[in-house]
Amino acid sequence: MSILPVILDTDPGVDDALAMMLALSSPELEVLGVSVVSGNVPLATGTENALKVLGLMGRTDIGVYVGADRPLVRDPVYAKEVHGNTGLGQARLADPGVAVAGDGVAFLVETLTDRPGEVMLIAVGPLTNLALAEQQSPGVLQKARQVVVMGGAIREPGNSTPAAEFNFYADPDAARCVIQSGAQVMLVPLDVTHQVILGREMLEKEVASQNTDRSRFLMDAVQDMLRFAEQTGGREGIYLHDPLAVGVAVAPELFEVETMRLDVETQGELTAGQVVADLREIREEIRQGRKVHCTIRVDCERFLGLFLGRVLGRGSLS
């Protein structure tokens, strides 16, 4: 089995932590490092959370790199109402006592430059670090084997505004920069992440019953998200947004992909962060926007089995 080198760019965040756990539990992947960006929580909190999740997983050998503490242009926005004040819900993890490894943007530039065509970049937060890397070293994102981005909404409504998903809303200028970079982008939008719900019943049956460090962390971490989902949408479960981006790297056969031309709105008073896909029935060559691969469907049952099996340490994809 060939092993795929990956970088995780993240803003932990409960589902970011779950994405990290999935990546670190997947033998198909070699996690070269974790770069952190302001997003779900302020940068310092997210950095601390990344270090703690690596400690939980026994992987403090992997470096955590500190990236951007604010968006390119806009003021920072956070999602503490979803992820809790610490970003990890009600979970409490020990400080592993490990220092950060360096600068996040420099790490992206250096790694992609040193290993052109080899490294998959999995970005599950606002795209500020990636945009800064592209600005500092034009063309560097094209050196990634693929840039998997959890973000945006195409035919699905947004979750931060009627038009925009959180990561793209938090830094629409960065999202547009990455989409327009010419990199091999694979978008994982709300259109596909809203197809996978980890329900309360499944959590109680499959997770709480395990009574391990990992299962206890997962149950404690998701409680605030469960409460938010019930209060705002009457939903008895959470979406696995960020783990699905890791799923694209681990098990691409579970996903159906469509190629579209699209762009990102940066200025709209009501539409900042909106993905604008040219879905008109006209000749492809005259459609507007950059060509981007977009996941549109996923085998929900198999992905949930993969996710729970790996994260809980029970085995691999079946």
pLDDT, tens digit (0-9, with 9 covering 90-100), for 56-67: 999 999 999 999
Tokens of 180: 């327009």
Is residue 31 over pLDDT 90? Answer: yes
* Nearest Cα to Cα of residue 39 among 240, 184, 175, 137: 175
Q: How confident is the model at residue 90 (pLDDT cuts 50, 70, 90)?
A: very high
Q: What is the pLDDT of residue 223?
A: 94
Q: How confident is the model at residue 266 (pLDDT cuts 50, 70, 90)?
A: very high
Does residue 53 fall inside a structural domain? yes
- At 101-137, the pLDDT tens digits run 999 999 999 999 999 999 999 999 999 999 999 999 9
- Mean pLDDT, residues 272-298: 95
* Domain extent at residue 138: 4-311
Q: How confident is the model at residue 317 (pLDDT cuts 50, 70, 90)?
A: very low
Q: What is the pLDDT of residue 285?
A: 85
Does residue 147 fall inside a structural domain? yes
CA angle 82, 96, 31 (to 5 degrees): 75
Does residue 317 fall inside a structural domain? no
- At 71-84, the pLDDT tens digits run 999 999 999 999 99
Does residue 170 fall inside a structural domain? yes
Average pLDDT in the chain: 95
Q: CATH code at 228? A: 3.90.245.10
241 in catalytic set: yes
Residues 6+ apart with CB under 8 A from 232: none
Does residue 90 fall inside a structural domain? yes
Does residue 60 fall inside a structural domain? yes
Does residue 126 fall inside a structural domain? yes
Is residue 48 over pLDDT 90? Answer: yes
Does residue 316 fall inside a structural domain? no
- At 176-235, the pLDDT tens digits run 999 999 999 999 999 999 999 999 999 999 999 898 999 999 999 999 999 999 998 888
CA distance 18 to 246: 10
Structural domains of the chain, count: 1
